[in-house]
Structure 1
């Protein structure tokens, strides 16, 4: 899995765990819902600023979004 896929899978996992829709997360981050979809599917090369905003919106440390040990096997490509 490349870094975009890893980041996206962790965003999806943590978003779902927080009970947030893509739209709700997008609103918290100040981005469009489609941007969240692109991140979660690994099609968007997120910036460090996006990583920071996602971590703040999900109330997690930025490192949690890059943790290889937390991605479910089904989400690994």
Structure 2
């Protein structure tokens, strides 16, 4: 397990390596941002990242730290768990049940 985690963190991702969930999260963030009438540069400043990083987040090419994830949730005035539940709902609808808890297979 440790080797696998090390490989995930040290490898340079290519197009095939991006998690579909990360892409969907980015789309969701972009949709919320647009609905609030905030442009990428404004949101980037609000959460403490560059506009380029904001673009990568919305394209699913940038992982989020918990701090940034919590800042995004606070900006959208939702609980972080709500964003995760919405992500799960969207991904289940799109790809069927992909996530399961231990023992629920």
TM-score past 0.5 threshold: yes
Q: How many residues align?
A: 73
Q: 1:7 aligns with which of 19, 25, 32?
A: 25
- Runs of 5+ unmatched residues, structure 2: 1-18, 95-105
- Structure 2 equivalent of residue 43 of structure 1: 61
Mapping of residues 1-77 of structure 1, within 5 Å: 2-66=20-84, 67-68=86-87, 69=89
Q: Which is further off, 21-30 or 53-62?
A: 53-62
Scaled by the length of structure 1, what TM-score is found?
A: 0.78
SS in 2 for 1:42: coil
- Runs of 5+ unmatched residues, structure 1: none
Greater than 4 Å deviation, 4+ residue runs: none
The structure number with the bigger radius of gyration is: 2
RMSD between aligned alpha carbons?
2.2
Ranked by relative contact order (alpha carbons within 8 Å, sequence separation 6 or more), the top structure is 1
